[in-house]
Amino acid sequence: MAVSHLQCKECKAQYPLEALYVCETCFGPLEVVYDHAGTSDDVAALRRRIQGGPQNIWRYADFLPTTAYGRGAAGGPPVTSAGGGSTRLGLPAGCTPLIRADRLAERLGLREVWVKNDAANPTHSFKDRVVSVAVTRARELGFETIACASTGNLANSVAAHGAALGLDSYVFIPADLEEQKVLATGVYGTKLVGVEGNYDDVNRLCTELCAERDWAFVNINLRPYYAEGSKTLAFEIAEQLGWELPDRCVVPIASGSLFTKIARGFEEFAELGLVEGELPSMNGAQADGCSPVASAFAAGHDVCRPVKPDTIAKSLAIGNPADGPYALDLARRTGGGVDCVSDDEVRAGIKLLAETTGVFTETAGGVTTATLAKLAARGDIGRDERVVLVITGEGLKTLDAVRGTFETHTIAPTVEAFESGVPQTVSV
C-alpha cells in the first residue's frame, strides 16, 4: 500500500503530500489517503511480511505515510536513504505489551479484559508512535527543526526525538504542567517554552507561529502524518490478539485524534482482509473537568462546545478538541459512547489498575480505567465481550495523583519493631 495524497475530510479536495494540514477551501482537516492497488491480496503473505518486520511501529510501514518505505508516493521503486542505510527514524516506538488482565476483569465483573500498556514506549507514552512518523516525514520534507504544542507527553517525545536525530527542537507547554513532565522534557536539551495559559492558548500560539517559522510542528503542519502513527496501536492489538478484533476498546480522548485513528487502523486491517468482523465498539474517556466531547455526546450534539479545562488529568486537558466531531460520530456509529469521570474517580482508577495488573499509569490512564469501571457498573459491557483498555502513559509522570493514598510503615531495624509495627497477613 503506497501513500497517495492528502485529502480534506470535509469537502474531499485533494492536496500534495506536503506540510499541509488544513483545507484552503473549507478549513476542514486533511488526512492521508493510500493507494490499495498493488497490495497483495494474499493475506497470509501480508501477515508474514508484518511479522518479519522490526519490533517497532515500522513493521507496519506499508500503512504509514512516509515515502521511505515500500514503494514511493508515485508508485515507483523503493526509496532508500543516502548511502543505502536505514531511513527508519525516531526512537523505537511500539510493540508494547498487551496484557491479559483477569484480576481487573474479575473485580469489574467482566469476562475478558486486556491492557495495552503504551507506557512501555521509549519516553513512556503513546506519543512516541506519532512523533516517530512525524519526524520521519519531516526529514523527508527537508525540515531541520521540529516543534510541538504539548500537554506533556508529546513534549517528552519531541524533545527526545530531537536529541536522538540531532534536530533542533522547540517545545511549547502550559507553564503549570506537572514537574515530572517538565523535567523529562528539559533534560533532552530542547528549547522549552512555558506559556502562561492553558493548552488551548499554547495551541493557538503555535498555530500562529507555524505560519511564521519554517519548522515542522508535529501536531500542526505535520498533523496529517503524525496522526497516522496512532493507527499502529490498533495494528498491534489485532496482531497480538492473533489477528482478531476486540469487541470493545476504551480509549482516552483529548483532541480525539488517537480515538479516531485507532478505529481507522482496525478498518484498514479489515479492508485488506487481515482481520474479519465488525469494528469494535469505541468508548471514549474524559475527565469531568475537561469533557467537551462527553458533554456533546450526552446532549446529542455533533459538534463540541469548547471548555476551560480544570482537571488533574492534564494530558487530556484540551478544551477545544480538533477531532471532536469525528470522535462523536465514531462513538455513535460503533455503539460505543463517551463518558467522563471525576478527579477522585481518576485517582481510584490509577489505584485499581495498579492493584489488579501491576501497571502504574498516569492520570490519563486513571480516566480510562475509571471509565471502564463506570461502563461495567452500568451494565454497558456484554458478558461475552473481549475488551481492550488503552493505557497511554506512565504513572511516574504524575506522582501527585497518588501522593497520600497509602501508608508507609516506618520502623526501627528490629524484628520486634516489624512485628509490632506492621500489620501482617497470616498464612496457614
CA 384 from centre of chain: 27
Kindly state the smallest distance separating residue 292's Cβ from other proteins, in Å.
11
**Residue (of 217, 48, 249) closest to 135 by Cα position:** 217
Query: How far is Cα 413 from Cα 295, in angstroms, rounded to an integer?
Result: 54
- Interaction between residue 335 and other proteins (CB under 8 A): no
- Interaction between residue 206 and other proteins (CB under 8 A): yes
- DSSP per-residue string spanning 316-328: G--SS-TTHHHHH
Handedness of CA 94, 95, 98, 99 (dihedral sign): negative
Give the interface segment with other proteins, choosing from 110-118, 179-187, 298-306, 387-395 (CB under 8 A).
298-306
Binding mask 238-277 for other proteins (x = CB under 8 A): ----------------xxxxx-------------------
Kindly state the smallest distance separating residue 403's Cβ from other proteins, in Å.
28
Kindly state the smallest distance separating residue 321's Cβ from other proteins, in Å.
7
Kindly state the smallest distance separating residue 134's Cβ from other proteins, in Å.
12
- Interaction between residue 380 and other proteins (CB under 8 A): no
Give the interface segment with other proteins, choosing from 74-82, 201-209, 235-243, 335-343 (CB under 8 A).
201-209
- Interaction between residue 199 and other proteins (CB under 8 A): yes
- Interaction between residue 201 and other proteins (CB under 8 A): yes
Cβ proximity to other proteins, 23 vs 192, nearer residue: 23
User: What is the CB neighbour count within 10 angstroms for residue 222?
Assistant: 29
126 to 165, contacts with other proteins by CB under 8 A? 149
Do the Cβ atoms of 370 and 345 come closer than 8 Å?
yes
- Interaction between residue 223 and other proteins (CB under 8 A): yes
27 Rama sector, left if φ>0, alpha if ψ -120 to 50, beta otherwise: left
Kindly state the smallest distance separating residue 149's Cβ from other proteins, in Å.
5
Do the Cβ atoms of 360 and 396 come closer than 8 Å?
yes
Cβ proximity to other proteins, 254 vs 330, nearer residue: 254
How many residues touch other proteins under the rule CB under 8 A: the total is 39
Do the Cβ atoms of 116 and 237 come closer than 8 Å?
yes
Query: How far is Cα 346 from Cα 405, in angstroms, rounded to an integer?
Result: 13
Quote the crossing angle between the two packed helices 324-333 and 292-299, to the nearest 10°. 50
Cβ proximity to other proteins, 102 vs 201, nearer residue: 201
- Interaction between residue 299 and other proteins (CB under 8 A): no
- DSSP per-residue string spanning 202-230: HHHHHHHHHHHS--EETTTTTHHHHHHTT
Cβ proximity to other proteins, 22 vs 163, nearer residue: 22
Bridging pattern class, strands 30-35 and 281-287:
unpaired
Query: How far is Cα 270 from Cα 265, in angstroms, rounded to an integer?
Result: 9
Beta-bridged to residue 339, according to DSSP, are 285
Helices (H) and strands (E) in the chain, counts: 14, 13
Q: Is 400 exposed, middle or buried (0-12, 13-18, 19+ CB in 10 A)?
A: exposed
**Residue (of 143, 191, 130) closest to 163 by Cα position:** 191
2 to 31, contacts with other proteins by CB under 8 A? 10, 21-29
Kindly state the smallest distance separating residue 33's Cβ from other proteins, in Å.
17
Give the interface segment with other proteins, choosing from 46-54, 57-65, 305-313, 389-397 (CB under 8 A).
305-313
Kindly state the smallest distance separating residue 247's Cβ from other proteins, in Å.
26
- Interaction between residue 200 and other proteins (CB under 8 A): yes
- Interaction between residue 314 and other proteins (CB under 8 A): no
Grid cell listed for 4 = 497517495
Kindly state the smallest distance separating residue 395's Cβ from other proteins, in Å.
22
- Interaction between residue 82 and other proteins (CB under 8 A): no
Residue ranges that bind other proteins, judged by CB under 8 A: 10, 21-29, 149, 199-201, 203-204, 206-208, 210-211, 219-220, 223, 254-258, 303, 305-306, 308, 318, 320-323, 325
